[in-house]
Amino acid sequence: MPLFKTEAVILQSRKFSETSKILVAFTREKGRMSVLVKGGRKGTKGFAGGLETLNRVEMQIYHKGGRELQNFKSSDLVDGYAELRKDLKRTYTALSLAEVAVRGTETEDPHADLYRALVETLEVLDRTGENPWSVRWNGLLRFCRELGFGMALQECRQCGSKTGPVKGFDLERGGFLCGDCKLEKPHQMPMPGESWGVLRFLDTCRPEAAARMAVHADAGRRIEALFNAYFRYHLPGLRGFDSWKMLPQLYWE
């Protein structure tokens, strides 16, 4: 069986047996994969905590095409993001992004740009605790572009106007609606213009710059609600994102 070596971020870990576990890993070359780690729950020195959720590792896998579950051989820890784990806000922010990678991608469907976006966002969350919500939104904007439903934030999605007040967001078209256009369809939701300005900035900036974008609590809750509605609209069949539910309370209460 061919041996496949790759860098990966561990998205999830779950029990398989008393001694083994299954990892959901997001690999740089092949996208999401499920990997069986025999003996991975024994707590032996051979694993040394390197196979924990959110860790970035160099992993060797016995790979067989067309199989849902691959077999683990070995790994080396690249980054455990120890600093972000000390902060509950940053930890849940990172888990929320990992959950999108789990639920929004297919097995062995390569997404090199999404992998890069995930790693860069984790690195910024690890370096700074400033405004983790803005770092998260920057990452989500990059994610939805890579997954095929990127937001178009430079003009009204209904009439094309680039000026004037904003009053809503169209979930289907992925953009804001200006004050001259009507909100008359189920997939359109009210949204004030302040949110437009925040997202336009975050859509084009680097994650490091996103960490400097502060918003007040009311605006933050509205933007969180927008992302929740938008991802649920474009990823049909998925139940609510588990790790997203805690975020508004952690961020602003």
Residue spans of the domains in the chain: they are 3-79, 84-252
Give the position of tokens 């990678």. Answer: 101
| In CATH, 3-79 is 2.40.50.140 | yes
What pLDDT, on a 0 to 100 scale, did the predictor assign at position 164? Answer: 73
User: Residue 184: what residue type?
Assistant: E
What pLDDT does 45 receive?
45
State pLDDT tens for residues 190-219. Answer: 998 889 999 999 999 999 999 999 999 999
pLDDT band at residue 239, thresholds of 50, 70 and 90? low
Which residues touch 105 (CB under 8 Å, ≥6 apart)?
26, 31, 32, 111, 114, 147
Q: Does the 84-252 domain belong in CATH 1.20.1440.120?
A: yes
38 residue type, one letter: K
d(CA 198, CA 169): 14
- For the record, the structure tokens of 123 come out as 């690195």
**What average pLDDT does this structure show over 146-152?**
95
- Cα separation values, 172 from 186, 211, 234, Å: 10, 28, 8
- Per-residue pLDDT of 48-102, as tens digits, reads 458 999 999 999 999 988 888 999 999 999 999 999 999 999 999 999 999 999 9
Q: How far apart are CA 150 and CA 227, in angstroms?
A: 12
Cα–Cα distance list, 199 to 141, 205, 213, 253 (Å) = 8, 10, 10, 22
Q: Are 22 and 53 in contact (CB under 8 A)?
A: no
